[in-house]
Structure 1
Amino acid sequence: MKRALISVYNKHKKLIDFVHFLHRKKYQIISTGGTYQYFIENGLSHVKEISKITSFPEILDGRVKTIHPLIYGGILANRNIKQHINSAKKHNIHFIDIVFIECYPFIKKYEDHHDNIRSLIEFIDIGGISLLRAAAKNFFHVTSMIDDRDFELVKNEINFHGSTSLQLRKKLAGKVFNFTSYYDSIISKFFLKEEKFPIYLHESYKKKMELRYGENPHQKAFFYTKNKSYKTNFKQLYGKQLSFNNLRDMDVAWKIVSQFSEPACCIVKHSTPCGVSLGKDGLEAFRKTYETDPVSSFGGILSLNCPLSLELAEKINQIFIELVIVPHCDPHVLKIFHHKKNLRVIQINHSISEKIECVQIDGGLLVQESDSSFHENMNYQIVTENKFSQEEKKYLFFAQRVVKHVKSNAIVIAKGTQTIGISGGQTNRICAVRQAIQQAKRKKEQGLVLVSDAFFPFRDVIDEIARYGKIQSILQPGGSIRDKESIEACNEYGISMAFTGRRSFKH
């Protein structure tokens, strides 16, 4: 007789139907205490409790119930090795052909903020994980299962072939080890949560959705979410399926506006901000942002750190925006977009949680601390004869928060709390400055400020800024061997400049 060992935390009708199927196919069903009782209550009188096989009761509040040679011998025996078969007969061990386990929900409890260590350790599964690993190891003979969505696959093969195929058993074993490594990595992360860079890096992700496509339409893509990452709990309120590029741009756009307590708006295109502004409300912040660069904003990602008003929704409805991110949007406001087939609306109502960043390269990962927000109490040194006014200081720090999200070499020119010239991804500093100035020229504004993500290697940058004639204050890290030349040039032109001593490269 074939045997199936089944033990689950969550009981449901789908499981009852599967057990009925196995019973009809002449499988003896073996089960642990809680699952056994559930089966009996649902009329499955043919199920055998595991303690009747081991002749040993469950002990230690259920911590020990399946760890026994009569169970593991039945799972791990290689039916192609005569010595294994003889040993099983000698010790009255019966082979087990299917193992279906749903482990204690440590992951769910951890994600639900159950951070009390005494409570959480009771949800660390020992027996279930061990049974799964044993069954998966012996996949040549045993079907290991952790997902009730695989019931139909198993049933179909048993119906047509009398047993599962080696190909399916291998696939299911792979799913088991994929799950157990995920499960263990989250437990490890809980115990090492104060360790930012552990010896072994286990970042745990679970597939959340298939994306419309990757960076290009011919590339398939999926979105995997990190456990306990509140950023991934966004809600799509409206629109078609998201793409890989949508999510990349969403990440940049939300990080930028999340830095500000005042109403802020940002429009991002190809992971680069087209414009960023603060306003007295979302409508004003949007107006200033869109005016910055309406050409580049076409088809961009718009992010707000304040609720979407009806009036603002009507304005957005008149232009082509791919995606809108807001912390809140009332249903009646959402109806404004019902004719916008290509627009998506995403709700995110939490702050940025990531403390480290990972970049995949061929053969490994680069891992670093996230670049924390620039704050106004940070030390900076005015190095020129002219000093900053309090207003200029505010505007420079606004631009500084933007520049660290722009690809290097990066320059941001601002008028008040509105960017009017952004340049990123240039291979030299002088070209970055020229491009930002070229954008700023469209606005014909006076009294501008400029922020650079890194030092000026030569005074030609200052000369270029002075030729423009409208920038009166500069903030940059300093640190060039020719800093003195840049300082002297600023003094010649009457421009104030400060060094932060802090570079903000973004590659």
Structure 2
Amino acid sequence: MTDLVPVKRALLSVSDKSGLIELGQALAAKGVDLVSTGGTAKALREAGLAVRDVAELTGFPEMMDGRVKTLHPMVHGGLLALRDDAGHKASMDEHGILPIDLLVVNLYPFEATVAKGGDYDDCVENIDIGGPAMLRAAAKNHAYVTVITDPEDYAPLLDQLEQGGTTARFRQECAANTYARTAAYDAAVSAWFARTLEIAAPRRRAFAGTLAQTLRYGENPHQTAAFYTDGSGRQGVATAVQHQGKELSYNNINDTDAAFELVAEFDPADSAACAIIKHANPCGVARGKTLLEAYKAAFDCDRTSAFGGIVALNKPLDAETAQEITGIFTEVVIAPGASDEAKAIFAAKKNLRLLTTDGLPDVKAGGLTFRQVAGGLLVQDKDSGFIGMDDLKVVTKKAPTPEQMTDLLFAWKIAKHVKSNAIVYVKDGATVGVGAGQMSRVDSALIAAMKAERMAETLGLSQPLTIGSAVASDAFFPFPDGLMEAAAAGATCVIQPGGSMRDDEVIAAADEAGLAMVFTGMRHFRH
């Protein structure tokens, strides 16, 4: 492969016009012959640049509303011809095909059209055909052709041309970027068709992302990692603005996402809410009249685990809450906004990262989650299941009071975000004990109660706050033993999915213990 290849002729056809004029001017200044199409040619001419239409190159006018313009041997021959192949050169000479040394194409805005809610016909019309065909042709022939598909690569291209041409390594990297882009584009189109046609399990499933950040390392220092956005625009850590602090790590991003998804379960119009997360599990969640009140209550669930944790808020951060948060070491705070006073308080904590977003994630929105296993991928709908007061079924002789029902639903929302097996004790709108990720539901109940006892000692209370609490289990109790541990910890009411073969035994045990219990009919396993 020739190392340095000069650029004498360039074909430009872009939907994103950012940086186009500057690029065209720089190429023209180097004597590059510019060929272009439609709106791109018009923009370049309006900037005073000499441009040849593709129609002049092909001898055919653009037709069918622009659907057919570049799908022609004069274009693809110019992109695909092997310049040092005698047969190819003879064909070029015979048919008057001119070599194209540089292709600059970005695709019709299909993803943007889908994101803004375009109708079926509009989305189909924004599926690019000629663009991907040219890109793939130029990328295949990267030994001779430079291909650019992102405006962010214009500057590196011009830097290359300062030395008289593009290097083989640069063309290879551009080709790799191009195939990734066309693959991502096709993935977006196929995913849209699957959603539109309600095909739950398409024969082939493609996923794509755009690099947002190269990370220092992964979960552990010996692992490499990077962070990619999926283009959905869903509010969260991927759309957040970082105001201060060192760059986020892999674990920071993972935990911050878990925290923000959890706190988004609570409507800010109803109350302030705070979630404190450690290793993707909540160690304290609470509601309050103010963020300060909610933070204090969440912190008092497990002060030990909160150290070095992630704090998520469902309302813009205020100065009072910011001051309280700085009382211990906190890795990240994420909120839908922050006051200038709060930012100023955090500015004194150089290792604390503050992230703000334009809103909360929509917890009821659909979407897909996927996980890699050896030799494949597990794909499922996002757990957007919702349970309201009217969905609950009282199964015990004693019914929960309205106050208990409020705490039960609060606990249920939290249990959805706790790793299985999950047990969550709640009292007065705040977690008082969380048991997560145990192989036995009994152990989760015991661990959560033990943590509550430890916190009672720390807070100087005469008894743990699990006394008189509501308890949630993310899945059914297969035997009465786990339920009895919760009762022994002082829980007075229970929310669980139900559905065990021994539901009757569990209900009978609850009645004997004087517990009120409701079934949701929905499970929230989180592995």
Same fold (TM over 0.5): yes
SS at match of 2:28: helix
Question: Offset of 1:155 from its aligned partner?
Answer: 5.4
Match of 1:15 among 23, 33, 45: 23
Question: Offset of 1:423 from its aligned partner?
Answer: 0.5
Query: Are residues 33 and 356 of structure 1, via their aligned partners in 2, closer, same or farther at CA, if it must alter by over 3 Å?
Result: closer
Instruction: Give the superposed CA RMSD.
Output: 2.7
The equivalent of 1:394 in structure 2 is 406
Match of 2:144 among 125, 128, 141: 141
The equivalent of 2:248 in structure 1 is 242
Question: Offset of 1:183 from its aligned partner?
Answer: 2.1
Are 1:18 and 1:151, in contact at CA under 8 Å, matched by a contact in 2?
A: no
Are 2:307 and 2:330, in contact at CA under 8 Å, matched by a contact in 1?
A: yes
Q: Does 1:102 align with 2:114?
A: no
Query: Are residues 490 and 167 of structure 1, via their aligned partners in 2, closer, same or farther at CA, if it must alter by over 3 Å?
Result: same
Aligned equivalents of 2:524, 2:54: Cα separation in 1: 61
Question: Offset of 1:425 from its aligned partner?
Answer: 0.8
Query: Are residues 374 and 65 of structure 1, via their aligned partners in 2, closer, same or farther at CA, if it must alter by over 3 Å?
Result: closer
The equivalent of 2:12 in structure 1 is 6
Aligned equivalents of 2:469, 2:162: Cα separation in 1: 76
1:207-222 to structure 2, matched below 5 A, reads 207-222=211-226
The equivalent of 1:258 in structure 2 is 264
Which string of whole-angstrom CA distances, capped at 9 and with x for unpartnered residues, describes residues 281-326 of structure 1? 2121111111111111111111111222222122112222111121
1:195-234 to structure 2, matched below 5 A, reads 195=198, 197=200, 198-231=202-235, 232-234=238-240
Which string of whole-angstrom CA distances, capped at 9 and with x for unpartnered residues, describes residues 371-390 of structure 1? 22432245444333333222
Are 2:21 and 2:44, in contact at CA under 8 Å, matched by a contact in 1?
A: no
SS at match of 1:387: coil
Amino acid across the alignment from 2:256: M
SS at match of 2:495: strand
Query: Are residues 121 and 383 of structure 1, via their aligned partners in 2, closer, same or farther at CA, if it must alter by over 3 Å?
Result: closer
1:324-363 to structure 2, matched below 5 A, reads 324-348=333-357, 349-352=359-362, 353-363=365-375
The equivalent of 2:93 in structure 1 is 89
The equivalent of 1:271 in structure 2 is 280
1:14-413 to structure 2, matched below 5 A, reads 14-20=22-28, 22-23=30-31, 27-45=32-50, 47-79=51-83, 81-111=85-115, 113=116, 115-151=118-154, 154=157, 163-194=165-196, 195=198, 197=200, 198-231=202-235, 232-261=238-267, 262-348=271-357, 349-352=359-362, 353-377=365-389, 379-413=391-425
Aligned equivalents of 2:194, 2:433: Cα separation in 1: 44
Question: Offset of 1:271 from its aligned partner?
Answer: 0.3
Of 70-79 and 422-431, the range deviating more from structure 2: 70-79
Are 1:274 and 1:422, in contact at CA under 8 Å, matched by a contact in 2?
A: yes
Are 2:25 and 2:49, in contact at CA under 8 Å, matched by a contact in 1?
A: no
Question: Offset of 1:152 from its aligned partner?
Answer: 5.7
Query: Are residues 440 and 131 of structure 1, via their aligned partners in 2, closer, same or farther at CA, if it must alter by over 3 Å?
Result: same
Which string of whole-angstrom CA distances, capped at 9 and with x for unpartnered residues, describes residues 146-194 of structure 1? 234445655566665x654444333222211111122233234444433
Question: Offset of 1:451 from its aligned partner?
Answer: 1.4
Which string of whole-angstrom CA distances, capped at 9 and with x for unpartnered residues, describes residues 448-479 of structure 1? 122112222333334433444x2212222233
Query: Are residues 477 and 59 of structure 1, via their aligned partners in 2, closer, same or farther at CA, if it must alter by over 3 Å?
Result: closer
SS at match of 1:435: helix
Aligned equivalents of 1:366, 1:68: Cα separation in 2: 42
Query: Are residues 335 and 438 of structure 1, via their aligned partners in 2, closer, same or farther at CA, if it must alter by over 3 Å?
Result: same
Amino acid across the alignment from 1:248: N
| Number of equivalenced pairs | 500
Amino acid across the alignment from 1:395: D
Aligned equivalents of 2:117, 2:23: Cα separation in 1: 28
SS at match of 1:504: coil
SS at match of 1:420: strand
The equivalent of 2:459 in structure 1 is none
Query: Are residues 155 and 459 of structure 1, via their aligned partners in 2, closer, same or farther at CA, if it must alter by over 3 Å?
Result: closer
Match of 2:480 among 459, 473, 498: 459
Aligned equivalents of 1:102, 1:461: Cα separation in 2: 58
The equivalent of 1:491 in structure 2 is 511
Aligned equivalents of 2:143, 2:317: Cα separation in 1: 57
The equivalent of 2:460 in structure 1 is none
Query: Are residues 92 and 104 of structure 1, via their aligned partners in 2, closer, same or farther at CA, if it must alter by over 3 Å?
Result: same
The equivalent of 2:520 in structure 1 is 500
Are 2:471 and 2:486, in contact at CA under 8 Å, matched by a contact in 1?
A: no
Are 1:374 and 1:397, in contact at CA under 8 Å, matched by a contact in 2?
A: no
Amino acid across the alignment from 2:178: V
Amino acid across the alignment from 1:363: G
Aligned equivalents of 1:454, 1:38: Cα separation in 2: 60
SS at match of 2:300: helix
SS at match of 1:357: strand
Q: Is there any run of 5+ residues in structure 1 with no aligned partner, and where? A: none
Amino acid across the alignment from 1:139: H
Aligned equivalents of 2:518, 2:246: Cα separation in 1: 47
